[in-house]
Amino acid sequence: MLDNNLKNSPQLIVGNLSVVYPGVKAVANVSFSLAKGATLGIAGESGSGKSTIALALMKLIAPPGRITSGEIIFDGKNLLKLSDAEMVRVRGAKISMIFQDPFTSLNPVFTVGEQIAEAVRLHQGLGRAAAWAAAVKRLEAVHIKEAERRAHDYPHQFSGGMRQRVMIAMALACRPQLLIADEPTTALDTTIQLEIIQLLKEVQAEFNLSVIFITHNFGIVKAFCRDVLVINKGSVVETGPVAAVLSRPQSSYTRKLLDALRIINRE
């Protein structure tokens, strides 16, 4: 019963979200919602405001940028009303994020094990040993071989694809409910891209995650997401189930993006 209820009420509702940077309205009145366990793609060209939406959901817009209006209801609570201290308990614990560039998103001076374990210690109050064990387990979950040993290595000792795996392990460390992936494959080789998408699919099922997948690549949207949100210049231009949007795009902008994709695919 209860389970059913939860399934039906959306896990995340974003209403009229606007973000400005000095001189730029990066996100304008964006609204969407996401059911538990759902996969939503956010697509748009470079500079359209995708990353800004993602960061706004985490309340990580760096000053002088600012969220000017809207609400972000997660699990029934408006995140924009939370204090900084409360927000810290949401990040990484309930909502996690992985970034475009795995080469710069890991801190070079700490071991990957430590970088995963520290979040576990802070969010779950585990001791050093237990948190380390949890970190190793997550590394195993993302198929890092010899996880036990590699946890002691530093980021520069991993390849790009491996680092993105580590980032995913880090994001999953505290069993979040929502994962925001901001172009997680853009910086990687094509073959590695497929592996990472495969891995994300796998962990989504395993951890029962809702996923927001940001990309400018409709191919990935098609492969990964059930719904899609197309944005242009900070505003939503089209939204709906992926199959519908791809077969009958309503806006000219979406058609343009799809054409671009076709041209690339043909080449």
Partner 1 sequence: MRKYFIKRLLQLIPLLIGISLISFFVMHLAPGDPTALFIDPNVRPEELARVRANWGLDQPVYIQYFLWLKNACLLDFGQSYTTGQPVIYEIAQRLPVTLLLMVPAFLITLLITIPVGVISAVRKGSWFDNTVTFLSFTGMAMPTFWLGLMLMLLFSVKLHWFPAVGNLILPLLTMTLGNLAGLTRYQRSAMLEVLGQDFIRAARAKGLPERVVIFKHALRNALIPIVTILGLSLPDLFGGAFIIETIFAWPGMGRLGVQSIFQRDYPVIMGIVMFSALLIVIANLLADLGYSLVDPRIRYGKE
Ligand X SMILES: Nc1ncnc2c1ncn2[C@@H]1O[C@H](COP(=O)(O)OP(=O)(O)OP(=O)(O)O)[C@@H](O)[C@H]1O
Q: Pick one of ligand X, partner 1, Mg ion, none as the site partner of residue 85 (Cβ within 5 to 8 A by kind).
A: partner 1
Task: Give residues in contact with partner 1 (CB under 8 A).
Answer: 55, 58, 60, 62, 84-85, 88-93, 96-97, 99, 101, 104-110, 118-119, 122-123, 154, 156-157, 167, 170-171, 173-174
- Secondary structure class of 92 (helix, strand, coil): coil
Question: Among 18, 39, 51, 105, which residue interacts with ligand X (rule: CB under 6 A)?
Answer: 51
Q: Which does residue 60 touch among ligand X, Mg ion, partner 1, none (CB within 5 to 8 A, set by kind)?
A: partner 1
Q: Which two tokens stand for residue 190?
A: 């094509």
Interface residue with ligand X, options 65, 102, 155, 249 (CB under 6 A):
65
Would you count residue 51 as binding Mg ion (CB under 5 A)?
A: yes
Q: Does 62 bind ligand X (CB under 6 A)?
A: yes
- The item of ligand X, Mg ion, partner 1, none sharing an interface with residue 24, based on CB under 5 to 8 Å by kind, is ligand X
> Is 82 in contact with 254 (CB distance < 8 Å)?
no
| Residue in the block written with tokens 């475009």 | 100
Q: For residue 175, give every residue at least 6 positions away whose Cβ sits within 8 Å of its Cβ, in sequence order, or none.
A: 207
DSSP 8-state code for residue 71: E
CA 254 to chain centre: 22
CA–CA distance, 70 with 146 (Å, rounded to integer): 46
CA contacts within 13 A on the Cβ side of 155: 20
List of residues contacting ligand X (CB under 6 A): 21, 24, 26, 44, 46-52, 62, 65, 216
